[in-house]
Amino acid sequence: MSNGATSIEFRDVSFSLASGRSLLSHLTLQVEEGETLVLLGRSGSGKTTTMKLINRLIDPTSGEVRVERKTTLDWDPIRLRRRIGYVIQEVGLFPHLTVEENIGVVPRLEGWAPERIHQRARELLIMVGLDAEQFAARLPRELSGGQRQRVGVARALAADPPVILLDEPFGALDPITRREIQREFMTLQRELKKTMVFVTHDVAEAFLLGSRIALLKDGELILLGPPEDLLQSEHPEARAFAQGFSERHRAGSPR
C-alpha cells in the first residue's frame, strides 16, 4: 500500500507528565503515506499518548514529531488538526448535535457552504453503510453502538483529511458488530488510501487492519514490522499477544 513517502515521523520522542512520570520514551518510527500503522499494546503502554502527539493535543517533552516533513511545533495546531481526521471511542460524538451536524463539524469550521456540507454528510453516511434519510436527523443517543462508530468514522472523513487517527474506535462494540464493521472498514481503507494510525489492544484487529504493527509496552517500542514479525518474535510481550491471536484463530475467529 505504501508509495514510499513519509507522512508522519517520530524522532526519539519522549513524553512525561508534569509529575515526572514517563508515558513514552525514545520512540522512533515512521508512518508511510497510505499505510495503516497499528499501535498495539495493553492499557497504559503509551498508544494513546503516541496518537495525541501527532495532532498536538500534547507536545513532546523531548525529540520531535514531524507531520508532512514539518515538526508539529511549527504547525498551527488548529490547521494541523483539521488536516487529520480523529475517531475516538463512541463518546466522541457530540451528544447535542444530530448525526448530520456531527459529520459536518469540521467542514463547518472550514467554512463550507451549508448545501455542500449537507451533500457531503449524505455521501459519507452512504459510504459507511447508513441510510442517510433514516439517520441524518437522529441524535447520537438514538443510535446503536455500531451505528455511532460508523458516524464517528464518517465524521473523521468529512473534510477529506490526508491522515486519520483512530483511537480504539471499535473497542466498545459487541464482537459480532465489531467484525462486521472491521470488514467494512477494510473496504474503506482500500478505496480511500489514507494514511491511518490505528490504536487497539485487540491483536486480531491489528492483524486484520494493519499493514504494519508497532507493539508498545510501558512507553517503549518493542517491535515494529508487518504482522508476521509479531508471530515470529521471541520477545515475551510479542509472544503473549501472538498467543492470544493463535488461540482465537483456532477457536474459529472470522479471520
Partner 1 sequence: MTLGEFLERHGGEMLELTLEHLFLVFVSTGLAILIGVPLGILLTRKPGLSKPVLGFANVMQTVPSLALFGFLIPLNIYLFDVKIIGGIGARTAIVALVLYALLPIIRNTFIGISSVDPAIRDAGRGMGMTDRQLLFQVELPLALGVIIAGVRVATVICVGTATIAAAIDAGGLGRYIFRGLRANDNLLILAGALPAALIALGADLALGYVERTIQFGGRVKATSKKVIGSSVVALLIIAGAAYLFASKSVGRIAVGSKDFTEQVILGEILAQAIEARTGLAVERRFDLGGNLVHEALRAGEIDLYAEYTGTALLAILQAQPLKDPEEVYRRVKAEYARRFDLVWTEPLGFNNTFAVLVRSGDAEKLGLKTVSDAARVSAQWRAGFGQDFMSRADGYAGFVRTYGFQFQETREMDLSLTYRALAERQVDLIAGNSTDGLISRYRLVQLQDDRNYFPPYDAVPVVRQSTLEKFPQLRSTLAQLGGILSVEEMRQLNYAVDGEKRAPAEVAREFLKRKAILP
x/- contact string, 67-86, with partner 1 (CB under 8 A)?
----------xxxxxx-x-x
Pairing label, strands 220-225, 212-217: antiparallel
Contact status: 188 vs partner 1 (CB under 8 A) = no
Contact 54, 84 (CB under 8 A): yes
Contact status: 91 vs partner 1 (CB under 8 A) = yes
- Out of 1, 69, 70, 94, point to the residue binding partner 1 (CB under 8 A): 94
Cell of 169: 474506535
Cα–Cα distance measured from residue 42 to residue 54, given in angstroms and rounded to the nearest whole number: 20
Q: Which stretch binds partner 1 (CB under 8 A): 11-19, 91-99, 130-138, 175-183?
A: 91-99
Smallest separation (angstroms) from partner 1 to the CB of 92: 4
- Out of 20, 21, 96, 250, point to the residue binding partner 1 (CB under 8 A): 96
Contact status: 43 vs partner 1 (CB under 8 A) = no
Cα–Cα distance measured from residue 42 to residue 229, given in angstroms and rounded to the nearest whole number: 18
Q: Which residues of this protein are in contact with partner 1, per CB under 8 A? A: 55, 57, 77-82, 84, 86, 88-89, 91-98, 105-106, 109, 139, 141, 155, 165
